[in-house]
Structure 1
């Protein structure tokens, strides 16, 4: 297994994993997988990584901006997705730890995650990687007509912005 960058040529595999996450109804409010152009514009230019084995992507993670305001340039939101057949094998934790290193290398001092309350495995992975629950957004949005809560997690770097 190795970490690779996500780019246009391997996005189809990333999109398939994203589609699996959408189908769980506990990973995202998105209901359709965006094309490359939309996905590419959504995430920061760094921290777009995947775990690959035998030319197959097993998990992916990326960073997105939380605000356009300059004072928040050191704050990013994480996205982590693991292929259904690979869940429970430690890949989520592995890729999140690598994403943390990349974020700190790029002067990100705070990482945030918004996770569906029911997505206990994702909350657990984030907590293992130093995130803490700071609260929740009650009924923040509807998914298929049902109001959902999002748990808010945060990780403050111990090396950037100290």
Structure 2
């Protein structure tokens, strides 16, 4: 497996993997796959990664700003998605480790992530990567006709920012 920075040429595979996540109903409140332009605009320009096996994108990870206020410049929200055919093979762990390294290299001192508690694999991945639960949001939003809860987890860097 190779983990490399992503660019526009990878987006069709990123979009397909995201679509697979949408279909689970446990990955995001979003209901549509974004265009390249919307995805690109919504993600930080650094720390965008794809995992590739046999010339096929099998997972991706990227960061989004949590605020445009300068005091939160070192805080980012992460997204990480693995293709259905490659789950449970350590790809998420490898992407997460590389994403943490890249984020710290780019001055990110806190990573945060919101997830549905039913997404047990994602919760476990974050816990094993040094994230801690900092909040539980009850019925924070509707997905279709169903009110959903989310967990908020964060990881504080030991090398970036004030420690």
Please indicate the TM-score interval, normalised by the length of the shorter structure: over 0.9
5+ unaligned residues in a row in structure 1: which ranges? none
SS at match of 2:130: coil
Alpha-carbon separation, structure 1, partners of 2:88 and 2:2: 18
CA distance in 1, matches of 2:72, 2:58: 31
Match of 1:154 in 2: 154
The equivalences for 1:11-160 within 5 A come to: 11-160=11-160
SS at match of 1:68: coil
Q: Structure 1 segments of 4 or more deviating over 2 A?
A: none
* Deviation for aligned residue 1:19: 0.2
CA offset at residue 83 of structure 1?
Answer: 0.3
User: 1:40 offset after TM fit, Å?
Assistant: 0.3
Instruction: Tell me the SS of whatever aligns to 1:117.
Output: coil
Deviations for 1:117-151, whole angstroms, at most 9, x for unmatched residues? 10010000000000001111111110011011110
What TM-score do you get using the length of structure 1 for normalisation? 0.98
- Alpha-carbon deviation of 1:160? 1.1
Q: Calculate the TM-score normalised by the size of structure 2.
A: 0.98
Quick one: distance in 1 between partners of 2:79 and 2:137? 18
Point out where structure 2 has 5 or more consecutive residues left out of the alignment.
none
Query: 1:67-124 deviations in whole A, cap 9, x for unaligned?
Result: 1100000000010000001011111111011000000000100000001010010000
Aligned equivalents of 2:54 and 2:5: distance in 1? 15
